[in-house]
């Protein structure tokens, strides 16, 4: 938004940032012991804090009749525990509920920052954060796989016994590549790209709408197309709520599915 | 001349992303369409079908999103 107001309206190209990364990089605000803090870092810490605060205020003081907020948080917690952990992983899934819950709430809050007024920046649109979350998931499902199945996990993946022998090396190669290399990458990129796309779309539509409407005195009725862009931006706004929740759900669901495939490994 | 090549590269990466979005588009259509058919046939299985549908969509979508990221890498 700040960038947009600096643009020259009268020019033919109204507003083209030199680089798209401009929208996602913020200047360093202060430094503590060699760690540079920018807006992203502060928002990241704030995300974790907000997730903990939501859980704390939602679930403290067990009442017979929970408050409305408490009921909503209980619904989400129950959804992660029953709908994701127990449904997908099975009875052993209860062990992984804390991890899945932390993941779900962190990503949910981080995604919804995209549409929170005054913040308007999804922390999950910086590759480092989804990548780190995906790597934690990777370590967990690798560890579970090797702990439960020893090296059968690797050997049976690379040399699947149920496949005809002529195709075994090919299937094994594809399986090893997809499980050991592709899984964490796609997990991270899915969340990251969704959030980047959403943030770009919202920025482009809303700012171009504002710019066009503001330029009506200068460029005449052509500027009224800004109303359309702005309306489309507001529609995208609603869509982004859906996408933010859905991506948090999908990330958690895929984490659970990867853990499940490591536990019940008998292909 | 150099500027032209840069422009050409950007245009090509845009076309590449467009081509890359075709497959996942068809795929998501098939997944969602079949999920709707399944839900209409067995409404009592709705919850399971919806979970599986989102999973299928997420896995299919990954290709388009990789294309999206590669577009930015290639055009930067």
The full DSSP string for A9-66 is SSSSS----S-GGGGT-----EEETTEEE-HHHHHHHHHHHHHHHHHHHHHSS--SS-
Is pLDDT at A1 greater than 70 in this prediction? Answer: no
A250 touches B: beta carbon within 8 Å = yes
Nearest to A103 by CA among A125, A80, A120: A80
Q: What ipTM was assigned to the predicted interfaces of this complex?
A: 0.75
Looking at residue A9, its pLDDT comes to: 47
**Whole-structure pTM value:** 0.84
Note whether B69 contacts A: Cβ–Cβ < 8 A.
yes
Cβ pair B65:A193 closer than 8 A: yes
Give the pLDDT of residue A224.
80
Q: Which residues of B touch A21 (CB under 8 A)?
A: 76
Q: State whether A20 and B76 contact (CB < 8 Å).
A: yes
How many angstroms from the chain centroid is the CA of residue A142?
Answer: 22
Q: What percent of chain A has pLDDT over 90?
A: 21
What pLDDT is recorded for position B63?
A: 80
For chain B, what percentages of helix, strand and coil (3-state, to nearest 5) are there?
Answer: 95, 0, 5
In this predicted structure, the answer to whether residue B27 has a pLDDT above a threshold of 80 is yes
B68:A193 CB<8 A = yes
Contacts with A, B 2-61, CB within 8 Å: 51, 54-55, 58, 61
Locate the chain A residue with the closest alpha carbon to B70: A193
Alpha-carbon span A83 to B52, nearest angstrom:
12
Whole-Å CA distances, A37 to A32, A42, A50, A196, B62: 8, 7, 19, 21, 32
Report CA A68 to chain centroid distance, whole Å: 26
The rounded distance, in Å, linking the Cα atoms of A2 and A142 is: 45
Q: How crowded is residue A123: how many other Cβ atoms within 10 Å of its Cβ? A: 27
Q: Does A257 touch chain B (CB under 8 A)?
A: yes
Q: What is the nearest CA distance from A121 to chain B, expressed in angstroms?
A: 18
Q: Bigger pLDDT: B59 or A18?
A: B59
Contact indicator for A210, A149 with CB cutoff of 8 Å: no
- Mapping DSSP to helix (H, G, I), strand (E, B) and coil, where does residue A90 land? coil
Chain B residues with CB inside 8 Å of A186's CB? 62, 66
Whether A127 and A188 have beta carbons less than 8 Å apart is answered as yes
Would you say residue A142 has pLDDT above 80? yes
Please state, in angstroms and rounded to a whole number, the distance separating the CA atoms of residues A84 and A252: 8
Q: Determine, for residues B61 and A190 on separate chains, whether the beta-carbon distance falls below 8 Å.
A: yes
């Amino acid at each position: 938004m700040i960038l947009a107001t600096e643009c020259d309206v009268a020019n033919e190209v109204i507003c083209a940032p030199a680089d798209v990364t401009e929208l996602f990089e913020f200047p360093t605000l202060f430094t503590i012991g060699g760690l540079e803090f920018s807006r992203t870092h502060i928002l990241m810490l704030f995300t974790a804090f907000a997730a903990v605060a939501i859980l704390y205020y939602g679930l403290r003081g067990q009442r017979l009749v929970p408050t409305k907020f408490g009921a909503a948080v209980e619904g989400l917690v129950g959804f992660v525990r029953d709908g994701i952990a127990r449904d997908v992983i099975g009875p052993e899934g209860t062990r992984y509920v804390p991890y899945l819950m932390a993941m779900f709430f962190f990503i949910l809050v981080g995604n919804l920052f995209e549409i929170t007024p005054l913040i308007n920046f999804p922390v999950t649109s910086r590759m480092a954060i989804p990548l780190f979350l995906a790597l934690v998931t990777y370590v967990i499902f690798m560890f579970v796989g090797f702990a439960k199945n020893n090296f059968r996990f690797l050997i049976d993946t690379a040399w699947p016994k149920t496949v005809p022998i002529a195709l075994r090396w090919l299937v094994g190669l594809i399986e090893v590549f997809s499980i050991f290399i592709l899984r964490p990458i796609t997990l991270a990129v899915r969340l990251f790209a969704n959030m980047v796309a959403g943030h770009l779309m919202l920025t482009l539509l809303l700012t171009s709408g504002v710019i066009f409407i503001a330029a009506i005195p200068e460029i005449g009725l052509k500027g009224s197309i800004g109303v359309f862009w702005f309306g489309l931006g507001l529609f995208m706004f609603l869509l982004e709520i859906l996408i933010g929740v859905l991506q948090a759900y999908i990330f958690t669901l895929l984490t659970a599915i990867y853990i499940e495939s490591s536990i019940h490994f008998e292909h | 001349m150099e500027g032209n090549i840069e422009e050409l590269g950007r245009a090509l990466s845009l076309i590449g992303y467009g081509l890359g979005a075709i497959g996942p588009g068809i795929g998501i259509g098939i997944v969602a369409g079949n999920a709707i058919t399944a839900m209409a046939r067995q409404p009592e299985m709705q919850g399971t079908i919806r979970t599986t549908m989102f999973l299928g969509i997420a896995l299919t979508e990954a290709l388009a999103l990789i294309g999206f990221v590669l577009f930015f890498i290639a055009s930067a």
